[in-house]
Amino acid sequence: MSGLELFAAALGVIAVWLTVKQNPWCWPIGLVMVLLYSWIFYEVKLYSDMLLQVIYAVLQLYGWWQWTRTGNAHEGRKVSLLDGQSVALGLAIGAAGSLLLGAAMAHWTDAAQPWLDAALTGFSLVAQLWMAQKRLQCWLLWIVVDVIFVGLFIYKELYLTAALYAVFLLLAMQGWREWRADPALRT
């Protein structure tokens, strides 16, 4: 465990907690966190996760824009539900991306866990996009992904990061409960 990992983990907890509370400051704080984690994952040869953090950086900017500029008079995006077809499409895209990235990582790199890491990357991108769009289903996907991430990080001896993702798991459960109760879903 490094000081950098500790700082990144602290920022991660703050960013996800702010996301649960629908506070747009989650995005710039999250941006700093993902940039730090891109370096951490590079150092432990989790290249798909490193790439994921770089893409997250772009999605952090997209989420910040979505949450602060969309809607009447720039009120921000409201919590909404995806229909079944959109959920299926998102999951299919996540699976396809996972297979493509896994094959690339297994063939061209010395990645530690190319297939698992790629699958977590593919589905995390779907969850992050849904989160930026304030889709309730993002939290269910995060719950599944976070459980698996905890196991991966324990295996890679990134214990602080595993603990962070365990906290993310708890926050995802809280996010599911709070967003599901949001009055915007009833209108």
Residues 119-132 as b/e (b if ≥16 CB within 10 A, e otherwise) read bbbbbbbbbbbbbb
Per residue of the chain (187 residues), what is the pLDDT tens digit? 588 988 998 999 999 999 999 999 999 999 999 999 999 989 888 787 788 899 989 999 999 988 888 555 445 688 999 999 999 999 999 999 999 999 998 999 888 888 998 999 899 999 999 999 999 999 999 999 999 999 998 998 888 889 989 999 999 999 999 999 988 887 6
Alpha-carbon separation of residue 89 from 75, 116, 144 (angstroms): 28, 21, 18
Domain ranges of the chain: 3-186
At residue 74, the pLDDT reads 47
- What is the pLDDT, as a whole number, of residue 52? 81
The two counts, helices (H) then strands (E), for the chain are 7, 0
Residue 145: how many other CB atoms lie within 10 Å: 24
Q: What is the pTM of this model?
A: 0.85
Q: Give pLDDT, residue 19.
A: 93
